[in-house]
Amino acid sequence: MGISNIWVFSQESNGTATSGTLELLTHARTLGGSVTAFVGGDASAIAGILGEYGATKVYATGDLGGALPGAAVASAMKAVIDGGDSPDLILFPQNYEGRDVMSRLSVKVDRTVLTNNVAVAVDGDTVTVTTPVFGGNTLVSTSFSGSAPYLAAFRPKSFAAESAGGGAAEVAAAPVPDLGSTGGATVTAVHVEESTGPKLDEADVVVSGGRGLGEADKFSMVDDLAKILKGAAGASRAIVDAGWVPYSMQVGQTGKVVKPNVYIAAGISGATQHMVGMKGAKNIIAINKDAEAPIFGVADLGIIGDVHKVLPKLIEALEGRG
């Protein structure tokens, strides 16, 4: 009894395991039970690091040949489960691939999914996950009922990644079965939006702009301030939806989760959707015209004022320091 067999849906990026994968593997080790990494793709490049962070076994589907991972990886997981290796709990990263795979698998095994979590606890056979709601003001803990496997997705940075010093894990093939009518979605070209400076979700300083900037051109102020502070520029969903900046800059529920040393919100009101992506910042500075804006509720320093007046002066003052 208890939770003895835990899987982590593991992803590769640029030849190594993603930070989200390492966070989940690290936390999985603390839950009691064996930890298995399940890779959609070829695992030869990352089997070493997956083992180092705690996986004692790695399943790999092999190259997906451009197929979108949702149906393919879920079918491969289902085949392993039907073959007799049935996990009690599967941890997924809260991102595109994680969501697609867990959704498909959920129907195949007829089990619920719990998403947007930041914590998980195991007590005997009971698995409880916690998700912040209402912009993070309220924490709702939910237990799975019925029988395993339990499927849960976690937001980035919910756990710290720490090496366990383990050796390379044994890799077992988990080929993708014939997908029948659910196959056919194929990637034909990949486009990467180039950005300079530190990555948004890793930067020590993040400066984000929102609708209060008034027009797309004014985003250059946010860019300039980010550059001076050697940080990354981010954005609220409102101006991403409006097409001012690419989606890769979006901070929030449906975008990136950032936990920088300082987060500067310029012209952002602080919708729930945005706050969950930046509330973890150590220091928050907000500039907004509306004194009632919810962003002031989380700000360590709040300036009630016009970003068009405050930002140029701030940039000038910082540039003056050389």
Bridge partners (DSSP) listed for residue 12 = 17
- Closer by beta carbon to another protein, 56 or else 108: 108
Q: Are 67 and 171 in contact (CB under 8 A)?
A: no
Q: Residue 151 half-sphere exposure, CB side, CA atoms within 13 Å?
A: 23
- Site for another protein contains 138 (CB under 8 A): yes
Contacts to another protein from residues 234-253, by CB under 8 A: 237, 240-243, 246-248, 253
CA distances from 157 to 2, 116, 201, 256 (A): 26, 12, 9, 10
- Closer by beta carbon to another protein, 171 or else 285: 285
- Site for another protein contains 180 (CB under 8 A): yes
- Interacting residue with another protein among 140, 172, 173, 216 (CB under 8 A): 140
Q: Are 26 and 157 in contact (CB under 8 A)?
A: no
- Site for another protein contains 304 (CB under 8 A): yes
- Site for another protein contains 211 (CB under 8 A): no
Choose one: 38-46, 53-61, 159-167, 281-289; the region binding another protein (CB under 8 A).
281-289
Rounded to an integer, what distance in angstroms lies between the CA atom of residue 214 and that of residue 294? Answer: 19
- Site for another protein contains 5 (CB under 8 A): no
- Interacting residue with another protein among 22, 90, 205, 232 (CB under 8 A): 205
- Interacting residue with another protein among 113, 161, 164, 168 (CB under 8 A): 113
- Site for another protein contains 139 (CB under 8 A): yes
- Interacting residue with another protein among 104, 155, 218, 274 (CB under 8 A): 104
DSSP string for residues in 85-98 = ---SEEEEESSHHH
Those residues whose C-beta lies under 8 Å from the C-beta of residue 113, and which sit 6 or more positions away, are 102, 103, 106, 151, 152, 153
Q: Which tokens hold the place of 294?
A: 């919810």
- Interacting residue with another protein among 48, 62, 183, 197 (CB under 8 A): 183
- Site for another protein contains 218 (CB under 8 A): no
Q: Which tokens hold the place of 235?
A: 């954005």
Contacts to another protein from residues 21-50, by CB under 8 A: none
Q: Are 201 and 249 in contact (CB under 8 A)?
A: no
- Site for another protein contains 274 (CB under 8 A): no
